[in-house]
Amino acid sequence: MELQFSKRVTQEDFQGEFIDVILKAAADPSLTSFAGGLPNPQSFPVEAVKEAANKVFENFGYRALQYNAAEGLLPLREKICQRYKEQMDLDYTPDEIVITTGSQQALDIISGVMLDEGDEIVLENPTYLAALQVFHHYMPKALTVDLTDTGINTDQLAAVMEKHDPTLMYIIPNFQNPTGLTYTEETRVKMAEIMKGKNTLIIEDNPYGELRFAGKAGHSMAYFLPEQTILNGTFSKIVAPGMRVGWVATKNKELLEKFAVYKSSVDLHTSILDQMIINQYLEDNDVNAQVEVAKEIYKNNAELMMAAMEKYMPKGVTFTKPEGGMFLWVTLPEGLKAVDVQFKAVEKGVVVLAGDPFYEYDHGGRTMRVNYSNSTPEQIEQGVKAFAEAVIELM
């Protein structure tokens, strides 16, 4: 028998090759890995989640194990609305929220609802590699716009929008993955002016937004363009990633209706048990205090990593200085290739991810993503030292 696979799964998966590197590194205890994007398990509220789970079974019994609505648990959607108001000064109602199985599923459903082969999508350059993987399944044409120290290059964006009518735009304006950069308020305002009135749906992915440990937050695109923006959110970074509970929020009723119908055809609904446990946890605990625990860990780790970079890296190496989130973006000296450094660093016991899979077109470059969230101080010191030795040997 010869199976006839779809184009979606037989096309080249450049990003997947690098994800294999991340997963293998995570499974090898002899390596220090700065390659992934894992939250620090010290921030996981294990006992509180355990108590919430017990309470769910005591109070709801079989209801926690039954089918449920595609839109998701109403009390949980109400709590998400409350957090949007408190954290971002955005007004949403529960019927403007759909719960998803992580924010990764949200990207897939949005793509399924909005994209046909050949449609255009605007992407940051570089951008989140797993988002690229999702979008590739739907075979759009990518229009890339570079990032600057202040966020997306608005001059480039304006030029792209003059010549094209893209279906989607995907951005991560807060502590961007992979660069760690954050859009300034001026950049957000300019972007909103450029995008206003266009036939382009803006996907604003915000997994790291609450992990700010310095600076001041800017306005969401949903503040400027509510009908034109769909927000992706997740509990993975503020409670625990294993629960796989995320959501979308939008004022666009037509989009939300089609999103919910499509989701229902994909998985009927997100695990109601996980939703109930998250909801109970939020009822019984101060999630803001839990977020502060994570922020303190990440702040300390980021400062340690930046200090180690300054201490060990040779002249010509530069890196971003994030105000939150989980990543530094390293630029190597001219003449070096990030992929070569990645393999040399593994020989020295540390895994750092070359920037190649974060670009749609620009491969063979000299940028690297370095994760600081899921390491001990000792691992950061020794790992950066080994990383620097790999760079020096290849210079």
> What digits encode the pLDDT tens for the residues 197-245?
999 999 999 999 999 999 999 999 999 999 999 999 999 999 999 999 9
Let me know: does 358 contact 127? Beta carbons within 8 Å: yes
Q: What is the pLDDT of residue 17?
A: 77
Instruction: Give me the chain's average pLDDT, please.
Output: 95
Query: Average pLDDT in the 354-378 region?
Result: 95
Concatenated DSSP letters of 168-194: EEEE--SS-TTT-----HHHHHHHHHH
Beta strand segments in the chain, E: 32-33, 97-100, 120-125, 141-148, 151-152, 168-171, 201-205, 229-234, 246-249, 318-319, 327-331, 350-351, 353-354, 367-371
State yes or no: pLDDT of 194 exceeds 80: yes
Residue 21's pLDDT band, with cuts at 50, 70 and 90, is confident
**383, containing H or E segment:** helix 377-394
- Which of these ranges, 1-15, 116-130, 332-346, has the smallest mean pLDDT? 1-15
Q: What is the pLDDT of residue 53?
A: 98
Q: What is the pLDDT of residue 27?
A: 75
State yes or no: pLDDT of 165 exceeds 80: yes
Q: What is the pLDDT of residue 259?
A: 96
Q: Which CATH architecture has domain 46-284?
A: 3-Layer(aba) Sandwich (3.40)
pTM value? 0.96
- pLDDT tens-place string over residues 263-279: 999 999 999 999 999 99
Q: What gap in Å lies between CA 156 and CA 137, rounded to an integer? A: 26
Domain ranges in the chain with CATH number 3.40.640.10: 46-284
For residue 33, list its beta bridge partners.
351
Q: Look up the CATH number of domain 7-44+289-394.
A: 3.90.1150.10
Q: What is the pLDDT of residue 142?
A: 98
Closest CA to 380 of 292, 295, 327, 306: 306
Q: What gap in Å lies between CA 64 and CA 57, rounded to an integer? A: 7
How many residues does this entry show for the chain?
A: 395
Q: What is the pLDDT of residue 12?
A: 83
AA letter at 237: K
State yes or no: pLDDT of 28 exceeds 90: no
Closest CA to 380 of 309, 294, 292: 309
Q: What gap in Å lies between CA 296 and CA 280, rounded to an integer? A: 25
Residues 6+ apart with CB under 8 A from 363: 14, 356
Domain ranges in the chain with CATH number 3.90.1150.10: 7-44+289-394
- For the record, the structure tokens of 102 come out as 């992580």
- For the record, the structure tokens of 25 come out as 């590194």
Residue 150's pLDDT band, with cuts at 50, 70 and 90, is very high
- pLDDT tens-place string over residues 284-304: 999 999 999 999 999 999 999
Query: Average pLDDT in the 140-159 region?
Result: 98
Other residues' Cβ atoms within 10 Å of the Cβ of residue 19: 17
Q: What is the pLDDT of residue 25?
A: 72
Let me know: does 147 contact 181? Beta carbons within 8 Å: yes
- For the record, the structure tokens of 206 come out as 């915000």
Q: What is the pLDDT of residue 371?
A: 97
- For the record, the structure tokens of 356 come out as 């190649």
Residue 8's pLDDT band, with cuts at 50, 70 and 90, is confident
Residues 6+ apart with CB under 8 A from 85: 91, 92
AA letter at 52: A
